[in-house]
Amino acid sequence: MKTQTGNALWFILIAIGLMGLLTVMLSRGSNTTNDTGDYEQTQIAASQILGYAKSLENAVQMLLARGCSENEISFENSTIAGYTNANAPTDNSCHVFEPEGAGMEWEDFDSTNANMVTGSITVTGLYTTEPELILSQGRISESQCAQINRSVGLSATAPTDTAVGTPVQFTGSFSSVAEFGDNETTLAGRESFCISYGHATDRYYFYHVLNPR
């Protein structure tokens, strides 16, 4: 009787140990799945941002090839006010977001309208010292920023640049209030990059040159 009781207790302990081991393995598997899922979501989000930026660049280049001057390009749209360009032809043929022009749609990737098209940023070492036509996208995550930089051949660790001034929406004229690449030399000559401003919030910003000048 004592032997049988001892054996039963031994089997119970083994069963408990196996159940604990199985729980740990399932937990690890779940964490790995979650990590993989997060990484894939980050890749998708970064690819969407880069893809949209390239599409917008292609739209601008198409309008320029049609004969629109850079000062006539209009980013006026039905989502964000402030982009009316008085230089643009009245037939909307130089409008990026009108069917008569490039037929693009305004997109914002965090639903807070944190993106902007501006003509008031200069990139050091990019053709001339003139300000570029640039798309900026703010409020992206650190992981998305890292993935974007890896995709364009930069270090995953976001560079920090001390650009001064506040960029304004492009309405047909250029005037530089900020410069990238003068302090952080890894950005010099770059047409696409993500940086950190070091702020507590809204820290990471993506920039893509739509038309270098």
pLDDT band at 27 (very low <50, low <70, confident <90, very high): low
| Distance linking the first and last C-alpha atoms of the chain | 93
Extract the tokens encoding 14: 């083994």
Is residue 96 within 8 A of residue 84, CB to CB? The reply is: no
Which of 138, 61, 128 has its CA nearest to residue 101?
A: 61
Q: What is the CA radius of gyration of the chain?
A: 26
pLDDT at residue 51 in the model: 94
Question: Does pLDDT of 11 surpass 70?
Answer: no
The structure's pTM equals: 0.79
Residue bearing tokens 């159940």: 19
- What total number of domains does the chain contain? 1
pLDDT band at 138 (very low <50, low <70, confident <90, very high): confident
Minimum mean pLDDT among 23-27, 60-64, 118-122, 128-132: which range? Answer: 23-27
Q: Is the pLDDT higher at 109 or at 89?
A: 89
The predicted-structure confidence for 117-127, as pLDDT tens digits, reads as follows 999 999 988 87
Q: Is the pLDDT higher at 163 or at 77?
A: 77
Residue 177: domain span: 2-211
Q: Quote the DSSP letter at residue 172.
A: S
Q: Are strands 132-140 and 178-180 parallel, antiparallel or unpaired?
A: unpaired
Question: Does pLDDT of 211 surpass 60?
Answer: yes
Bridge partners (DSSP) of residue 116 are 136
pLDDT at residue 62 in the model: 98
SS3 state at 169: strand
Is residue 175 within 8 A of residue 112, CB to CB? The reply is: no
The kind and range of the H/E element at 207 are strand 204-211
Q: What is the 3-state composition of the chain as percent helix, strand, coil, each rounded to the nearest 5?
A: 35, 20, 45
Question: Does pLDDT of 194 surpass 50?
Answer: yes
Q: Is the pLDDT higher at 198 or at 77?
A: 77
